[in-house]
Structure 1
Amino acid sequence: MSDALPGLFLGQSEADGASRAETLLFKRANRHGVVAGATGTGKTVTLQIMAQGFSDAGVPVFCADVKGDLSGICMPGSPNERLTARATGMGLTLDPKAAPTVFWDLYGQKGHPIRTTVSEIGPVLLARMLNLNDVQEGVLSVVFHVADKEGLLLLDLDDLRAMLVHVGENAERIGREVGNVAPASIAAIQRSILQLEQQGGKAFFGEPALRLEDMIRVGLDGRGQVNVLDATKLMNSPRLYAAFLLWLLSELFEQLPEVGDPEKPRLVFFFDEAHLLFNDTPDALREKVEQVVRLIRSKGVGVYFVTQNPADIPDSVLAQLGNRIQHALRAYTPAEQRGLKAASESFRPNPAFDTADAIQGLGVGEALVSTLDEKGAPNIVGRTAIRPPASRLGPATDAERAAVMAASPVRGVYDTMVDRESAEEILSARRGEADKAIAEAEAAEARAKAEAQAEKDAEKAEVAREREQARQAREAARARPAPRAAPRRSTRETPIEAATKSVLRTAGSTITRELLRGILGGLKRR
């Protein structure tokens, strides 16, 4: 009998006056499952019961707390008369106790920070986060390729932004190797990064990155660690939420070894608000989800989607979910009626009731349950009263959360971000060296120009000086007075001079005649 095997007791069902314990076998828990139902029908309580039940069996659990109600799992419950009576009716002794809980928060506000690197996310999931089209996703893949080729680590969004600038500056060279890189696509990716940062995504990227072994823990008491992701703020960024959870699944798939079908799972993963994963999902990403869900079973990981309607999950994924818990659905619109029909037809029918009518008639805390038996076949669906939880119904207070975090086994491990050398620092250094070389070349050119100009200025100054000297010499020459000439003597003679000259001429003539006469007379006598 299936109920003789170890399993998680979910509640008690009745049909034709006979009661039956609805149990999820640990051996079949890695065949995945779905918890569905309209708002307020008890999905969160069922998730809490399952998480604590797996923990008590020594199975670590990861679950998202979308509304904050699941945080009460860290505190013992305070059962009222109604819950106690329900437990008694099921043959249970309600023992209030808390689950060993570790709180996580991508923003580091209500739990330990969760970080990963841009490289670990990869271009496909990152494109999903950034809501890129096919062309922009191709450019992002080129950025990752260039980073790998040049040995540049992409750790945070600053590294990614620096790589985009680097690729844009070298688009011609890179385009010849891997294809055209349009500046418009780079600009669009940069704008998307800015939007992601404004939504708080910057805190998610960096180091120290999350180590899976810090989530897959079993305490000394044999209970598995319950990892609660506070998603109350994260839900404002649905793409970031969905991509993060899918990344976590992918990391589990890549790092965990094959174990086949273990006696109990190594980890159980609850994906709350699962429809966010599939809204506007590209075909490539949907195929990735299908692959991970299909293959991660052999790694000993059970994945449970929590959503309002099973129709939110693609048929290709829904077909792989063997364990099903369906809370009440309302069918007022044609679309809701189609969803109700699909949900009812996914169960193995019970001749005691009509499944579609039963789904609409379920009360709070009731569900239709169909789990896999020891052979892996689905059991007949049973209308089940879900068992009450041992931990608190409702949220933990801020003080209680702080006390749990203070006693956490990962306290101080992830609280401080580390910024080591990566693409942004390396490219900045390269750019600094290039700028320095350019500056030195420009300075040398400026000095050469200055020296040439100085020589020209000196030549011009010398020419100007010589011209000035010449001009001053000319002006000085003009300014000097001309030399005064000797006064001319008058040619007019005074009477005395005339008389003297006349006497002298007369005397001279007389003397001359007398001499000549003497000479000539002497000649004649001879």
Structure 2
Amino acid sequence: MNRKDQFIQTLNEGQTYKKDFIILGTGILDGEAITEANVKVPLKTMNRHGLIAGATGTGKTKTLQVIAEQLSLKGVPSVLMDLKGDLSGLAQPGEVKDFIISRSEKIGVDYEPMGLPVELMSISDEKGVRLKATVSEFGPVLISQILDLNDTQRGVIALIFQYCDTHHLPLLDLKDLKRVLQFINNEGKEQIKNEFGQVSAASVNTIMRKIIELEQQGAAKFFGERSFEVDDFVRTEDGKGVISIIRLTDIQSKPKLFSTFMLSLLSEIYETFPEQGDADKPKLCLFIDEAHLVFSNASKDLLEKIEAIIKLIRSKGVGVYFCTQTPTDVPDSVLGQLGLKVQHALRAFTAKDRKAITKTAENYPLSPFYETSEVLTSMGIGEALITALNEKGIPTPLAHTLVRAPITRMDILSPSEIDEVISNSSLIAKYNVNLDRESAFEILNQKMEKVEKEQEKATLPGPKPRTATRTSNDESLLEELSKNTMVRQIGRTIFRELTRGILGSFSRKR
């Protein structure tokens, strides 16, 4: 058997599947694309997570686009974090060009350009469906992370959440959080001291300043109602999975906001989705572009929680895919959980680069057909080293792959096309509304006004009303609050059967 036939046999035997799969491209041997050696990934293992890595300009984003397309065609919805603003073209068909037709013929697949169902979303000023979450749902761990608090300040935040959970004070937006901070530092100081112990005024003031700084970065637009329901990510149209593109181009300079939003989203999905078991295809796939932003600002404690979520969320039928320049951007504890690995070219300009390439090569299976470290530096645009998990969970043979071309537009949408996508959205009317429900800010203000009026009545000449005397002497402000502050809430802000989840965020028993 010659080398070519042996290559074809090795790849095909390692990728024999009983269930459905997607084709990412075809294997390359000695510079030649081998049509008979397609590189396939079974849908059954697409919830085992993955990595798309490579130097700038090597085709990572287009590979991400191809995977999202093929999943959509198989009825699997996905969520894409679009930090560079170049993924909106998924809504429009691609352009037929000679080099694309030639590439498709080498791979042995038909090229049928088409647009796919897309939902544009935003957590900032970008056009699209507004993604929001309440401060309560975010939880104390993530709030502390985004504010970059020390251990003492984190303790204050934990105290606030405990107090508000116990006394039914909804923390919906940042002004609620600021008002509770003012309360524990002023009128509620003695009550808080009796129940929880002394709280440092310096810590409270520092937290207040950091919240104001966060507001100046635009975070006030994200915190509030109506909270986004992650079940709305899991939709299909005409049998195709809806691709939800979260447009994040205007928060590239705010990595803490992005990373904390991502962790909150993962936590919410984990807490909300039911166990799926061993299904034939994933329920949802998430693609995190510029993944280093998630990890570079995370503490050791938070990294442990990320690793826990990555391990556990697989059982919910959710696959998480990290897109970054080198595998070393992802912690080893997370990298070890990834099933699909797509490695585009790396460039060796310095001694440090060469060491990084050697280390990267060690992350991939050995192959009798390639010297991995050499292939890493010689691949062209649209080529990648790919290994996945087969249906039995065994890594497939490493294949130098000619990646198929996207069937959707390899460019962004025009402003008018963006407006058209948004006008056809069924979620805009649901989420793009401004709600300012009664919450901790209003409740504390109302109670303080009531106490002040009662104190004014108590100082007037003449006999004091018995009710006023009893209220001021026998009932503390804390007791008064706890008896009368249950407010009506909708959606996930209902304070009934709520528990704190893996990242301290709210989940609801189902």
TM range (shorter): 0.7 to 0.9
Among residues 390, 398, 407, which one is paired with 2:407 in the alignment?
A: 390
Q: Would you say the 8 A contact 2:256–2:297 is kept in 1?
A: no
- Paired residues, number: 444
Task: Name the CA distance, whole Å, in 1 between partners of 2:301 and 2:215.
Answer: 25
Question: What TM-score does the superposition give when structure 1 sets the normalisation length?
Answer: 0.82
Q: Would you say the 8 A contact 1:104–1:113 is kept in 2?
A: yes
Structure 2, unmatched stretches of 5+, are 1-12, 463-510
> Could you say which residue in structure 1 is the equivalent of 2:267?
250
Aligned-partner SS, 1:69: coil
Q: Would you say the 8 A contact 2:26–2:37 is kept in 1?
A: yes
Alignment map for 1:349-388 (pairs within 5 Å): 349-388=366-405
Among residues 313, 330, 337, which one is paired with 1:296 in the alignment?
A: 313
Deviation at 1:66, TM superposition (A): 1.1
Among residues 146, 156, 170, which one is paired with 1:129 in the alignment?
A: 146
Work out whether 1:199 is the aligned partner of 2:217. Answer: yes
Task: Name the CA distance, whole Å, in 1 between partners of 2:292 and 2:352.
Answer: 15
Work out whether 1:184 is the aligned partner of 2:191. Answer: no
| RMSD of aligned alpha carbons | 1.6
Among residues 362, 365, 370, which one is paired with 1:348 in the alignment?
A: 365
- Percent identity over the alignment? 40
Work out whether 1:263 is the aligned partner of 2:277. Answer: no
Q: Would you say the 8 A contact 2:93–2:115 is kept in 1?
A: yes
> Could you say which residue in structure 2 is the equivalent of 1:141?
158
Deviation at 1:260, TM superposition (A): 1.7
Deviation at 1:108, TM superposition (A): 4.7
Task: Name the CA distance, whole Å, in 2 between partners of 1:177 and 1:283.
Answer: 31
Task: Name the CA distance, whole Å, in 2 between partners of 1:13 and 1:355.
Answer: 14
> Could you say which residue in structure 2 is the equivalent of 1:24?
41
Question: What TM-score does the superposition give when structure 2 sets the normalisation length?
Answer: 0.84
Q: Would you say the 8 A contact 1:30–1:261 is kept in 2?
A: no
Deviation at 1:437, TM superposition (A): 3.0
> Could you say which residue in structure 2 is the equivalent of 1:212?
230
Q: Would you say the 8 A contact 1:3–1:23 is kept in 2?
A: no
Task: Name the CA distance, whole Å, in 1 between partners of 2:198 and 2:53.
Answer: 46
Residue by residue over 1:99-138, the C-alpha shift from the partner in whole angstroms, topping out at 9 and shown as x without a partner, is: 1000000125321110011011001011111111111111
Q: Which moved more, 1:358-367 or 1:1-10?
A: 1-10
Larger Rg: 1
Q: Would you say the 8 A contact 1:106–1:234 is kept in 2?
A: no
Work out whether 1:35 is the aligned partner of 2:65. Answer: no
Deviation at 1:14, TM superposition (A): 2.3
> Could you say which residue in structure 1 is the equivalent of 2:189?
171
Among residues 50, 75, 79, which one is paired with 2:96 in the alignment?
A: 79
Deviation at 1:435, TM superposition (A): 2.8
Deviation at 1:141, TM superposition (A): 0.5
Task: Name the CA distance, whole Å, in 2 between partners of 1:22 and 1:178.
Answer: 60
Task: Name the CA distance, whole Å, in 1 between partners of 2:222 and 2:161.
Answer: 18
Change (3 A) 1:24 1:180: farther
Task: Name the CA distance, whole Å, in 2 between partners of 1:203 and 1:260.
Answer: 37
Task: Name the CA distance, whole Å, in 2 between partners of 1:109 and 1:14.
Answer: 41
Task: Name the CA distance, whole Å, in 2 between partners of 1:314 and 1:134.
Answer: 23
Structure with greater proportional helix content? 1
Deviation at 1:434, TM superposition (A): 2.4
Please tell me the residue identity of whatever aligns with 1:164: L
Aligned-partner SS, 2:281: coil
Q: Would you say the 8 A contact 1:275–1:307 is kept in 2?
A: yes
Task: Name the CA distance, whole Å, in 2 between partners of 1:337 and 1:106.
Answer: 39
Among residues 28, 46, 49, which one is paired with 1:14 in the alignment?
A: 28
Structure 1, unmatched stretches of 5+, are 446-526
Please tell me the residue identity of whatever aligns with 1:253: Y
> Could you say which residue in structure 1 is the equivalent of 2:74?
57
Among residues 337, 341, 349, which one is paired with 2:354 in the alignment?
A: 337
> Could you say which residue in structure 1 is the equivalent of 2:249?
232
Please tell me the residue identity of whatever aligns with 1:213: D
Please tell me the residue identity of whatever aligns with 1:51: A
Deviation at 1:332, TM superposition (A): 2.9
Aligned-partner SS, 1:236: coil
Residue by residue over 1:285-317, the C-alpha shift from the partner in whole angstroms, topping out at 9 and shown as x without a partner, is: 111100100000011000101111110111000
Aligned-partner SS, 2:114: coil
